[in-house]
A and B are shown apart, each in its own frame.
Chain A
Amino acid sequence: MTNNPILSIKNLKVIFSATVPGTRKKVDARAVDGVSLDIARAETVALVGESGSGKTSIANAVMRLVNPSAGSIEFEGTDLVKLSGEALRTMRPRFQMIFQDPFESLDPRRTVLDTVIEPLIIHKIGASDDERRAMAITALERAGLVPAEQIGARFTFQLSGGQRQRVAIASAMILEPALVVADEPVSMLDVSLRAGILKVMRDMRDRMGVSYLFITHDLSLAWMFADRIAVVYLGRIIEEAPSAELIANPSHPYTQALVSVIPVPETNSNRERIVLSGEIPNPTAIPAGCRFHPRCPKFRELGEPSQCTTQDPELHTITFNGEGVHKVACHFAD
């Protein structure tokens, strides 16, 4: 376990109220169903999962854009769940977010410079307009947007997707946060542009020691960029390990399947693909016992053991050769 983590999520739950389609019945959608995770200083942890896994809800809960139903989010010693109003606002500069859609997340009518200065104005940082402007120019340069003055004068709608994402990063970093939640920051960008954006994020980490909570559906991207990966399924973390270890030795059947279908731009890749049937269930109808058992190949292989249908497995540690901890939530993990 990381000592003195900068972020410590304990038993987080986010439950939405949903109506069953076609009826008036209200049911609970347990988007996040008991998640615990620690992130250390300058560490990058990736949350990987398919859509409907709850990873975005976890991110929104950490950012307090959505109210958790239970659990705690300890950040730099304070429980964010208990904060609200002015107290929460004063903490905001310490944890920022980069959103997925570069075309939607920036106000198209504002100039680039205004967008980057905005956080400074909100938190009354900087003694004068000139000082704020200088800070913004530096932030833009660090994000790789040069010449910064020229680009700063343009409106955000005039920029390309990659450029907008750099603006988003600059405006998140200008407050020098300790934690940045990045929600699929490159998934809407062309492949050849992704490296540039990720390098900016990596450089910020090296310079400022910022920690990342990196949300993605792309397991190979998580492997490349993050120190640790936590795999999310239906609101729970079902496996967690350092990136190289997770890909090399996935233990949970779901992770094994995910790793096996990672598309690789190679033809002589002799991996056996485990293509699961069906799709991830709705969070209003989470299967009993282990939530993965209906799709689990191992469950069928082992003759449908009753543990899987009755007991919800807890995350437990398994041993491996290497640095860090490998945890998995499965009754029959490898």
Chain B
Amino acid sequence: MSLLEISNLRVAYDSPAGTVMAVDGVDFSIEPGEFVGLAGESGCGKTTLAMSIPQLLPRMARITEGSIRFDGQLISDLNEEQMKPFRWKDISVIFQGALNALNPVQSIGSQIQEPIRVHDSSVNEVQAHERMCDLLEAVGIPAKRALDYPHQFSGGMRQRVMIAMALACQPKLVIADEPITALDVMTQAQIMDLLRSLCDKFDLSMILISHDLSVLAQTCDRVAVMYAGKIVETGRAEDVFGNDGAKSRADHPYTQRLLKAYPNINHERVFIDGIPGMPPDLSQPQHGCRFADRCDLAIARCASEEPRLSNFGNNHQVACHVATPPGANYS
């Protein structure tokens, strides 16, 4: 049984301009101990999808259809009171820009202990302090710095503190929303390595949201690519990011073109390609494949019929009428 199972999820945002279907029919699952990357550009719905899991959506957003099951239990229809026991203890979140969300007048050690004290009444002060020290060591901060204040740490260190806080109650699933965006490239590498090692060490599952596909390749077990509210491709990292020489193994046209938008130093030095046009306006009803108008492989069927995710082997799923699984005969 999967740790998390999302089935046909639809999330709507109510705005004065109309209702926007930010997530429009998404199936997504994650196994225990799996490190999954959720990738896509701005507006694709990745943050909405992830934040609907612990029900941390903004006021104007609501789940309109579908279900989310955690460890077999249905959590998408729980109210706020019923949801609280799950947060921090089973599912915790590292928010975007979180490194700036630390309380400036409280020592970091005390802030890390807070979730422990609040959510786990069985733990006494000494145990909480011990666990806090363990967490600091686990994230690479010397325990003696527990009494220091956030302003005494650099950006990368503060992010480590946030990670320690997220792990404080030993959750089974951690959702990290763009955890490295504001950091330098060297610090990014450090934090990505850290997240991977923590995932392995504590055997937890992680959903890492990123608009940057290139940082996911090295660290994730699996990747899901989102576009306009839907998952267009998902699979093991080597199936989405791998390549046979110059040809990438990704099968969805959007993924393929997105990968070509990153300069790749392992290949020849060529000018990158973009994707002309813009994603569709999700306040309008959508017909057919949402990428069709920007896709140069589109056929007539793409405009009228929405493609469903189909399995290309090894759980490599692609939602495209034109893409063919390796070795298949298509008419």
Contact = CB atoms under 8 A, between A and B. Distances in A.
Interface of A: 21, 50-51, 160, 190-196, 198-199, 202, 217-221, 223-225, 243-244, 247, 257-259, 261-269, 273, 275-277, 279-280
Contacts of B238: 267-268
Contacts of B263: 220-221, 223-224
Given A190-B211, A192-B41, A279-B184, A265 B264 contact: yes
Contacts of B270: 224
A98 to B, nearest CB: 17
A199 B261 CA distance: 12
Given A50-B184, A160-B278, A266-B242, A191 B262 contact: yes
A263 B261 contact: no
A244 B184 contact: no
Contacts of B211: 190-191
B276 A196 contact: yes
B257 A263 contact: no
Contact of A195 (B188, B190, B217, B273): B273
Contacts of B156: 279
B266 interface: yes
B259 A220 contact: no
Interface string B84-115: 00000000000000000000000000000000
Nearest to B40: A190
A280 B258 contact: no
Contacts of A195: 261, 271-274
B184 A280 contact: yes
Given A258-B186, A267-B217, A194 B259 contact: no
Given A202-B271, A261-B185, A267-B237, 9 more contacts: A191-B258, A192-B275, A194-B274, A195-B274, A257-B186, A263-B217, A267-B218, A275-B186, A275-B193
Contact of A224 (B190, B218, B269): B269
Contact of B184 (A217, A223, A269): A217
A121 B238 CA distance: 55
A50 B238 CA distance: 30
A15 to B, nearest CB: 22
A259 B237 CA distance: 22
A51 B185 CA distance: 9
Interface residue tally on B, bucketed by range: 35 or more
- Closest 3 interchain pairs by CB? A195-B274, A263-B214, A224-B263
Nearest to B156: A279
A98 B271 CA distance: 20
Nearest to B250: A265
A50 B154 CA distance: 13
Contacts of B154: 279
Interface string B242-261: 11000000000000011101
A220 B189 CA distance: 15
Contacts of B286: none
B269 A244 contact: yes
Contact of A243 (B155, B214, B269): B269
8 contacts: A50-B184, A191-B41, A194-B272, A195-B271, A195-B274, A263-B218, A265-B264, A275-B190
B35 interface: no
A50 B270 CA distance: 24
Contacts of B42: 190
B259 A265 contact: yes
Contacts of B274: 192-196, 199
B275 A265 contact: no
Given A267-B241, A275-B193, A191 B184 contact: no
Given A191-B211, A192-B258, A279-B154, A266 B264 contact: yes
A266 B274 CA distance: 18
B27 to A, nearest CB: 24
B265 A247 contact: yes
Contact of B266 (A160, A244, A269): A269
Contacts of A268: 238, 242-243
A61 to B, nearest CB: 22
Nearest to A50: B184
B190 A264 contact: no
A146 B311 CA distance: 41
Contacts of B217: 263-267, 269
A265 B262 contact: yes
A279 B261 contact: no
B187 interface: yes
Interface string B222-235: 00000000000000
